[in-house]
Amino acid sequence: MFLATIGWSLSGVFVRIMPGLDGWQLNCWRGYWLAVSLMVYLVAVYGRGAYRKFLDIPRVALFASALFFALGSTLYVSSLTMVSTATVSVIGATSPLFAALLSPWVTGERPGFEAWIAAMLALLGVGVIAWDGLEAGRSTLGLLLSICVPMAFAGQTLALRRYRNVDMVPSICLGGIMSFFIAGLLGFTAGHAGGGFDVGFREVLLLAAMATLQLAIPLVFYIKGAHSVPAVTLTLIAMLDAVINPMWPWIFVGEKPGEAAFIGGAIIVGAVLISVFGRKFYNSRAAAADLNAVEKPA
């Protein structure tokens, strides 16, 4: 999961070297190359039986996970055109809360007290990072779309977690195809003659690299991580992207993050550590207490 987050954090670097593209164009061709990359992965792993992996996934899980991915990507771009990145980031930080609320019914996992504490801390950390960017005048529609983004991410995570006994990579492959057509067609609303499909050859190649390194490979890691990591912890570790993403421009471009980024980042890291190790610590303390109670003479 941490390797997946490292990969996702490269998004800012790739976007920076393609300043002429808007979100529709980026999402369109990134979705296309994501599907191609994951199809290559499936063929490399399963050979001629790759297409059967699409059939092994229950239809509900296949289309739900694909739709959550496509909607999450598209709604994220749409919300950024109406409200600030800071607003979207803060609202996006509620994803672990949605996962915690729904996981008992979807996956049968009941988040412990430490999971709720970690989720609230993570929300606080992102709020500290984004505080300076919150604008006074907000679009109501933009806020509604922003709320749908963490819901979509939580839904996708819960679907991966519930159907962890099958390889869910084909569902994300299908989601990439959906993103290609959805973002490509919605690109016409931005005034492009060819919609989101209207991208130069150089940018198409860069988006192929972005889709593979920043999205496809991390998503494979994410799906593998969902086999053994609870849904709330999955979403919390993914939030480390808010900490790592600003570090790459700092290293390569010299853009030093503000003080709020360091404070908020420390809070998020603390939340992730609580989520990962809190339950083990609590169980070990409880087991020790039970052992002492058994060994204590009557």
Do residues 226 and 157 lie in contact, with contact meaning Cβ atoms separated by under 8 Å? yes
Residue 106's pLDDT is what? Answer: 76
- What one-letter code names the amino acid at 175? G
Q: Using CB atoms within 10 A of its CB, is residue 254 exposed (0-12), middle (13-18) or buried (19+)?
A: exposed
Q: Are 152 and 24 in contact (CB under 8 A)?
A: no
Q: Which pLDDT score, from 0 to 100, does residue 287 have?
A: 44
* Boundaries of every domain in the chain: 2-282
87 pLDDT above the threshold of 70 = no
Q: What is the pLDDT of residue 291?
A: 40
3-state secondary structure 205-260: HHHHHHHHHHHHHHHHHHHHHCCCCCHHHHHHHHCCHHHHCCHHHHHHCCCCCCHH
Q: What is the mean pLDDT of the chain?
A: 79
Nearest to 25 by CA among 153, 190, 146, 149: 190
Name the band, by pLDDT with cuts 50, 70 and 90, for residue 129.
low
Q: Specify the pLDDT at position 201.
A: 93
What's the gap between Cα 196 and its chain centre? 22
For range 160-169, the mean pLDDT: 87
pLDDT in tens, 172-222: 999 999 999 999 998 898 788 898 999 999 999 999 999 999 889 999 998
**What pLDDT does residue 139 have?**
63
**The two three-digit tokens of residue 22, written as one number:** 């808007």
**Coil, strand or helix at 21:** coil
The predicted-structure confidence for 3-22, as pLDDT tens digits, reads as follows: 888 888 887 778 778 888 88
For the stretch 235-269, pLDDT in tens is 777 777 767 777 776 777 666 666 766 777 777 77
- Does residue 28 surpass a pLDDT of 60? yes
pLDDT-above-90 percentage for the chain: 25
Residue type at 166 in one-letter notation: V
Instruction: Report residue 142's pLDDT band, with 50, 70 and 90 as the boundaries.
Output: confident
> Above pLDDT 70, what percent of the chain?
81
- What is the per-residue pLDDT for 46? 93
pLDDT digit string (tens) for 51-62?
Answer: 899 999 999 889
Which residues 6+ apart lie within 8 Å of 1 measured at CB?
A: 221, 222, 225, 229, 233, 234, 237, 238
Q: Which pLDDT value is given to residue 37?
A: 96
Q: What does the radius of gyration of the chain's CA atoms come to, in whole angstroms?
A: 20
pTM of the shown model:
0.76
* Under 8 Å between Cβ of 166 and 105: no
Judged against a pLDDT cut of 90, whether residue 289 lies above it is answered with no
